[in-house]
Amino acid sequence: MDRRIVLAILLMIGILFLPMLLFPPKPPSPAALRADSLRADSLRRDSLARQQRQPRAAPAAAPVAAPAAALARTTVPADSGVGERVTVASQLYRYTFSTRGARLVAAEPLHYKSFAPGETGEAQLIPPDAEFLAYALVVGNDTLSLADWRFTPSQQDVTVGADSTAVDWVAQRGPLTVRLQYVFTPNQYLFDVRGEVSGFKRHGSGHYYLALPFKDISGRNSWQWRIRGRSFRFLAQRLLPILEYQIPAGLDVLDLGAGNCWLSYRLASRGHRPVAVDLMVNQLDGMGAARHYFPVRRRKCPRFQSEIDRLPCAKSQFDLAVFNASFHYSEDYNRTLEECLRCLRRPGHIIIMDSPLYEHEESGEQMLKERHAEFERKYGFRSDSVASREYLTPSVLEDLGRRHGITWTILHPWYGLKWAVRPLRAWLRRRREPARFQIIWGTMESR
């Protein structure tokens, strides 16, 4: 039988069965058991953490009638997060809006009384402090919340007469301007909402950075950003909720190897306080590119040009350090971790993502030889002037954990079927094992 037919049959069989043989489930370590138990209820914990970071809303089943004084326009301190109140009333209803996010904060049908125990007056349909009608701007795969934007209304204390009445809202931050219009009719409880956004260049360079890591609009490094996008999605859905539950006020994060600061932007969007560190500061793929995030983020992320072995940070300043596709560039893993641990509080966390991981040392060495030979063929000189390690192995991680008191948990994002069968294809072609990209989570106990 032709050898190609045999290989094709073996490949089909291998896709079905060999992944289970090549990657048998390992006995769970204590850290893995802990991670699995936490992961099982991570959605519940994420919900609890978010409730602790914002005012708690009353249950919808127990509406509370708003006192008359609260329905009038009131001014509150600028930092209270409440905003000014705008009321819209007709013979059927009385609605109250906040200038913070232009959201609806109270709704009373005037001819329906409350049946809640101990309450009198009209029924209240919106629980106190509820984030009802809170808007978000979706740009590519990114979502920008408008809940904390300050809107300026065209009218205050509006009375809807025989004709329809419109209230216009305008908010501006950087070059972005958001305009909303609420149109009320006297004989309907419903009102129309219209909106538009201006000042955003959808196909400009800013859109390229805002879409990262989920989409590479330029198409220059699409496969790399596909890997990073899936790594970050796994991080955001499975691991960050656990840490956010432990520290609901937000994490102080070191973004090591920040590049264009896409990770810092994503972490800041979740309410954390990242600090970016990198040697590159140009405005294309260095930290200077962070300027594209300024129009949509009120707080600018601190950025420092520094080596990861000499961090400009105080002792015990951060809760989490993320090596963002950068740990394998270290010349000395032990020295890099010592400096990182100096900056972390206890218990602290380290995340190594998008660094090549090989099962066997010789595979990593072969990868280096191939890379250096390719570089020399293309440019005429070798690329090993900087003696970085450029890969990790389980034995290296075990040694680092023993030396520095770190418990490692290796997490496995799903990068697609094509990526999953790469070991099988390499085995059939008698090539070295391909690199794996996994999320390596390190934890340090209290001193």
Domain ranges for the chain? 29-51+204-444, 60-198
DSSP 2-66: -HHHHHHHHHHHHHHHHHHHHSPPPPPPHHHHHHHHHHHTHHHHHHHHHHHHSPPPPPTTS--PP
Please, what's the largest Cα pairwise distance for the chain? 89
Summary mean pLDDT of the chain: 80
Identify the H or E element spanning 372: helix 361-379
Dihedral sign for Cα atoms in the order 418, 421, 422, 427:
negative
For residue 292, what pLDDT is reported?
87
Q: Rounded distance, CA 368 to CA 387, Å?
A: 11
Q: Rounded distance, CA 247 to CA 257, Å?
A: 24
DSSP class of residue 379 equals: H
195 near 183, Cβ under 8 Å? no
Answer whether 29-51+204-444 and 60-198 agree in fold. no
Q: By three-state DSSP, how is residue 183 classified?
A: strand
For residue 240, what pLDDT is reported?
95
Q: What is the CATH number of domain 60-198?
A: 2.70.98.90
For residue 377, what pLDDT is reported?
78
**Which tens digits make up the pLDDT trace of 305-319?**
999 999 999 999 999
Identify the H or E element spanning 323: strand 318-324
Among 65-69, 263-267, 371-375, 395-399, the minimum mean pLDDT is found in 65-69
Instruction: Provide the whole-model pTM.
Output: 0.60
Give whole-number Cα distances, 215 to 197, 325, 416, in Å. 22, 17, 16
To the nearest whole percent, how much of the chain has pLDDT over 90? 50
- For the segment 78-104, the average pLDDT, to the nearest whole number, is 81
Please determine, for residue 90, whether its predicted confidence score (pLDDT) is greater than 80: yes
Give whole-number Cα distances, 180 to 39, 102, 153, 436, in Å. 40, 8, 9, 48
129 burial class (0-12, 13-18, 19+ CB within 10 angstroms)?
Answer: middle
Kind of pairing between the strands at 252-256 and 318-324: parallel
> In angstroms, how far is the first alpha carbon of the chain from the final one?
65
139 near 200, Cβ under 8 Å? yes
Instruction: Please name the CATH architecture into which domain 29-51+204-444 falls.
Output: 3-Layer(aba) Sandwich (3.40)
Structure tokens at 22: 């090549």
Which residues, 6+ apart, have CB-to-CB distance to 27 below 8 Å?
A: none
Structure tokens at 168: 């216009």
